[in-house]
Amino acid sequence: MVNDTSVTLAGIRLQNPVIPASGTFGFGFEMAGCFDLNRLGAISLKGTTLEPRFGNPTPRIAECSGGLLNAVGLQNPGIDALVSDIAPRVRALCKTPLIANISGFSLDEYGICCEKADQCEALDFVEVNISCPNVHQGGMVFGTDPKAAAAVTRRARKATSKPLFIKLSPNVTDIVPIARACEEEGADGLTLINTLLGMRIDIRRRRPVLANRTGGFSGPALLPIALRFVNQVAKACRIPLIGCGGVASAEDVIEMMMAGATAVQVGSASLHDPLACPAIIDQLPKVMEQLGIEHLKDIIGIV
């Protein structure tokens, strides 16, 4: 049996669909001494903003049943450091496609960051995280309103000629109008889902576990929810999807692809086990053989 794990994402060939999710794998070079980064399908680099950010006060990560909560607050060295130093350093270590994950708090910030990423030869994709609050619109999250999501996509599309993916928030009543708005404004693909907003309380101290009170919930418990979102959007849009949320095994990758994803991001599993991605990649051909799948691309969206 062939067991071909390759997929094509917005015109770029990936040798397999497994991508470490932004914020769970650093910038990649931190793991270069543990395994060959060339084994990965691609790498979604740590989320980057226009200016350097220290992030939220601690505690900002907490384990809980079925996953974990995080309120890191986009700690990062800023876009200039990414394009001038970090991305070229990662590119020197591997030929794996690199995805710049961009966050912003205004349309101008998104635009400037995308323009700078566009000029960086080491970067192959731009992934725009629209789960950030618009500081000019009273803190409304860009990804919760089709018009706001369309505005960010339009600004990003003008700023870059690289394949553009918009990362969608699940904290909405209906994700389909938001996904369609991004597609109509020129997105080459969509990444979904980002974390769900959650909270835990320390009953002994009688206060929230996180200093930020709430945080993003991720982990295995998200997989059924993520599959539902991916399947809904796959049936409503024609552009490729990167599915994420609770993926921790080769079986999960295949399930996500059957739901409609072309590639899959692995997040919390990498925090639990930094070697999760290569382990999943090793499992894929074996599981494909068990299921009678010769070419992984053939199962995309079959459900």
Catalytic residues: 132
Cα–Cα distance between 64 and 285 in angstroms, integer?
A: 32
8 A C-beta contact, residue 126 and residue 114: yes
8 A C-beta contact, residue 18 and residue 43: no
What 3-state DSSP class applies to 174? coil
Cα–Cα distance between 12 and 7 in angstroms, integer?
A: 8
Integer CA distances (angstroms), 226 to 78, 151, 244, 246, in order: 29, 25, 7, 8
Bridge partners (DSSP) of residue 266 are 20
**Residues 6+ positions from 72 with CB-CB distance below 8 Å:** 23, 55, 56, 60, 61
Residue with tokens 């991720």: 218
Cα–Cα distance between 161 and 252 in angstroms, integer?
A: 32
8 A C-beta contact, residue 31 and residue 37: yes
The C-alpha angle with vertex 70 and arms to 65 and 73, in degrees rounded to 5, equals 175
Buried b (16+ CB within 10 A) or exposed e, 260-294: bbbbbbbbbbbbeebebbbbbbebbbebbeeeebe
